[in-house]
Amino acid sequence: MDGEGCFDFQKMYTKGLKTARYRPRIRVVSTTAATLPIVDSILKEHTAGHHISWRFPENRRWSPSWEVTVAGYQKGLRMLLWLTPLLRTKREDAEVLLDFVRARENKNPKLPYDQHELDLIAKFGSRRR
């Protein structure tokens, strides 16, 4: 995860709501096909529901790549709880995402974000520039 992983917010627009909503997302991307079954088995072992997709570029000089995505609050929380302590270079990104998930854990998803949640989204976004 420290080398090939990404922690971010997926911006979504929900029907009936006028403001954007964000859901936590954790991704691992690689062109090494032999790594995919290992990542898949680790996620299954930790009951982290995930989606696997492949990309096959039209340019033959580029390698096909795979992506494993864990998205959403419950799935993200399960993964972040066991993964965050193991991280070195991306630990702070994971901790911001974890703080956001915990802040929204027991709230109606249609409720607007409070100031703390907005600050976490902004903090995460400013780290990317």
Q: Which of residues 87 and 127 earns the better pLDDT score?
A: 87
Measure CA of the first residue to CA of the last residue in the chain; give whole Å: 20
pLDDT of 129 higher than 60: no
Q: Does residue 96 fall inside a structural domain?
A: yes
Q: Does residue 129 fall inside a structural domain?
A: no
How many domains does the chain divide into?
A: 1
Per residue in 89-101, pLDDT (tens digit) is: 889 999 999 999 9
- Residue 58 belongs to a domain with what CATH number? 3.10.28.10
The sign of the dihedral angle between the CA atoms of 72, 75, 78, 82 is negative
* Residue 22 near residue 12 (C-beta atoms within 8 A): yes
**pTM of the complete model:** 0.82
Q: Does residue 98 fall inside a structural domain?
A: yes
Q: Does residue 35 fall inside a structural domain?
A: yes
Per residue in 15-43, pLDDT (tens digit) is: 776 777 888 999 999 999 999 999 899 88
Per residue in 41-92, pLDDT (tens digit) is: 988 988 778 999 999 999 989 999 999 999 988 888 888 998 999 899 889 9
* Nearest-angstrom CA–CA distance, 89 and 11: 24
Q: Does residue 32 fall inside a structural domain?
A: yes
Q: Does residue 128 fall inside a structural domain?
A: no
Domain that holds residue 24: 5-123
Q: Does residue 66 fall inside a structural domain?
A: yes
